[in-house]
């Protein structure tokens, strides 16, 4: 009857009307934007300059080691490992004589740790200098060398996906980003909303309202009403976020000048190059960037990704919310719930780790199986779908995964319904997993 609708309505409205819901919905996208901005800002601020004294036994590095924002190479006289700090250097680079045959080690000694990224940079600079030196020794002039370096910048890797109906442009970077984003989003929401279901049921139990309501409706209706109501809150939150993000993106676009947008439109019409050829009309750098972003985003199959995201969010949520509901019905306080929630949260956390590996290698057997088993499929499959259907994920895998998830949540809901019915009216006794299983599988 419509009693379950009444319960859904109450669960939904009491949460959506809540001030915390409105605030978190509005602030989360802003917080994300701030976090990304902040991270970029600090990564640009955080560098300390390394002044490196180079002691070169070969004599050809002077002038060939290029300075960067963070690394300054100098070639002072009379500096050694004993006094470089006193002379105002942070590091000393010791390069012995190379003969080009025997493997030779060079050393950098630092006052403060260089860090992994800088260490790699020093290595690149030194190796590039050696390469240049060898090329020059073999008769290539400095001018030729510079021209070669300049030309190599024109080459760029374009990745294509070979489908049955021909090649299509693909972007592994974008796919990884989408996979990661969707995976994290499902991971967070499954935990947050699952916990919300558990807390809601716990509250009804400790408030003893459960008994009052159960004298009017069936326990299963009360449980399902709560699960569906809270799920609807989650979907509302997603929709609001999507609207907000689109709004912010449109607002951001309005800051781009009209001329640039005009150029972007021309780039779109001509497949990335400006019409008219030659240098007559060069697209501005800004227009090229906007075009590139739009073009890359366009390589993803958005309707499929959004459709699957909604499916896996709903499916994964229902699967885990039922388990959280069962736990909520047998505990009376948060402390008591901890030992019982662990077996439920563990698979979610594991799926997250499997997802990070699935993004590196979406075809591995771990990724394939984890994307079919309903315990991990919502998170792992979302990470793989971004890499292409039916390319990376064949239709049979997607079908099997969806089927398993649907039967999975039907099973957990059935299981939870039986545990809930007994647990919700039981007070004062700590329930174990063994007892819960006994309630679940006994005949009614």
Partner 1 sequence: MQNTILELHNLKKYYATQKAVDDISFSIEKGSIFGLLGPNGAGKTTLLRMITGIFYPDSGNIQLDGKAFDPVNDILKIGYMPEERGLYKKMKIGEQALYLAQLKGLSKSQAMEKIRFWFKRLEMESWWNKKVEDLSKGMSQKLQFVITVLHEPKLIILDEPFSGLDPVNANLIKDEIYGLAQRGSTVIFSTHRMEQVEEICDHIVLVNMGKKILDGTVSNVKQQFKENKFSVVLHELPASVNGNSFELVDQKANRLVVKIKEGFRSNDVLKHFLQQDVTIEGFNEILPSLNDIFIRQVEGTKSTARAFQNVQ
Residues that bind partner 1 (CB under 8 A): 3, 6-7, 10, 14, 204, 207-218, 425, 444
> Which string of b and e fits 328-360 if b means at least 16 CB within 10 Å?
bbbbbeeeebeebbeebbebbeebbebbeebbe
Tell me, rounded to whole angstroms, the distance of Cα 104 from its chain centroid. Answer: 41
Structure tokens at 233: 């809150």
Kindly state the smallest distance separating residue 178's Cβ from partner 1, in Å. Answer: 38
Q: Is 271 exposed, middle or buried (0-12, 13-18, 19+ CB in 10 A)?
A: exposed
Angle at 8 between CA 5 and CA 13, to 5 degrees: 120
Kindly state the smallest distance separating residue 218's Cβ from partner 1, in Å. Answer: 8
Closer to partner 1 by CB, 134 or 208: give it: 208
Closer to partner 1 by CB, 6 or 400: give it: 6
Kindly state the smallest distance separating residue 7's Cβ from partner 1, in Å. Answer: 8
Kindly state the smallest distance separating residue 379's Cβ from partner 1, in Å. Answer: 32
Q: Is 326 exposed, middle or buried (0-12, 13-18, 19+ CB in 10 A)?
A: buried
Closer to partner 1 by CB, 250 or 444: give it: 444
Maximum distance among all alpha carbons in the chain? 95
> Which string of b and e fits 78-102 if b means at least 16 CB within 10 Å?
ebeeeebeeeebbbbbbbeebeeee
Kindly state the smallest distance separating residue 380's Cβ from partner 1, in Å. Answer: 37
State how far the Cα of 239 lies from the Cα of 245, in Å rounded to an integer: 10
Contact 372, 380 (CB under 8 A): no
Kindly state the smallest distance separating residue 22's Cβ from partner 1, in Å. Answer: 16
Structure tokens at 237: 């939150």
Closer to partner 1 by CB, 50 or 421: give it: 421
Contact 199, 328 (CB under 8 A): yes
Closer to partner 1 by CB, 216 or 282: give it: 216
Closer to partner 1 by CB, 263 or 422: give it: 422
Structure tokens at 70: 């963070």
Closer to partner 1 by CB, 199 or 295: give it: 199
State how far the Cα of 170 lies from the Cα of 176, in Å rounded to an integer: 11
Closer to partner 1 by CB, 215 or 365: give it: 215
Closer to partner 1 by CB, 152 or 444: give it: 444
Contact 57, 97 (CB under 8 A): yes
């Amino acid at each position: 009857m419509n009693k379950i609708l009444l319960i859904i309505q109450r669960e939904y409205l009491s949460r959506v009307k809540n001030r915390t819901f409105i605030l978190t919905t509005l602030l989360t996208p802003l917080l994300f934007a701030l976090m990304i901005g902040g991270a970029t800002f600090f990564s640009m601020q955080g560098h300390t300059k390394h002044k490196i004294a180079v002691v070169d036994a070969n004599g050809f590095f002077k002038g060939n080691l290029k300075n960067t924002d963070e690394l300054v190479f100098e070639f002072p006289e009379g500096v050694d490992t004993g006094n470089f700090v006193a002379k105002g250097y942070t590091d000393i680079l010791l390069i012995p004589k190379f003969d080009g045959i025997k493997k030779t080690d060079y050393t950098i000694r630092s006052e403060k740790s260089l860090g992994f990224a800088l260490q790699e940079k020093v290595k690149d600079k030194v190796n590039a200098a050696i390469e240049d030196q060898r090329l020059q020794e073999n008769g290539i002039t400095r001018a030729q060398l510079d021209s070669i370096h300049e030309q190599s910048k024109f080459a760029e890797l374009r990745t294509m996906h070979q489908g049955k109906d021909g090649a299509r442009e693909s972007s592994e970077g974008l796919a990884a980003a989408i996979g990661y984003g969707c995976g994290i989003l499902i991971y967070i929401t499954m935990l947050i909303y699952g916990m919300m279901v558990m807390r809601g049921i716990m509250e009804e139990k400790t408030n003893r309202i459960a008994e009052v309501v159960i004298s009017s409706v069936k326990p299963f209706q009360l449980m399902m009403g709560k699960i569906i109501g809270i799920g609807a809150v989650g979907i509302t939150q997603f929709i609001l976020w999507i609207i907000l993000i689109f709004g912010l993106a449109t607002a951001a676009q309005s800051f781009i000048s009209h001329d640039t947008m005009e150029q972007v439109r021309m780039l779109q019409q001509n497949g990335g190059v400006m019409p008219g050829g030659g240098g007559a009309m060069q697209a501005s750098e800004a227009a090229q960037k906007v075009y590139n972003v739009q073009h890359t985003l366009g390589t993803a199959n958005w309707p499929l990704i959004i459709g699957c995201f909604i499916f896996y969010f709903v499916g994964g949520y229902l699967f885990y919310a039922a388990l959280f509901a069962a736990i909520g019905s047998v505990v009376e306080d948060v402390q008591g719930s901890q030992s019982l929630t662990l077996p439920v949260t563990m698979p979610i956390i594991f799926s997250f780790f499997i997802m990070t590996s699935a993004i590196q290698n979406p075809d591995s057997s771990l990724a394939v199986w984890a994307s079919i088993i309903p315990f991990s499929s919502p998170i792992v499959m979302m990470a793989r779908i971004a890499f292409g259907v039916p390319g990376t994920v064949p239709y049979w895998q997607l079908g099997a995964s969806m089927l398993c998830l649907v039967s999975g949540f039907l099973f957990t809901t059935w299981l939870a319904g039986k545990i809930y019915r007994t647990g919700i009216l039981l007070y004062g006794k700590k329930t174990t997993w063994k007892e819960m299983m006994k309630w679940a599988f006994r005949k009614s």
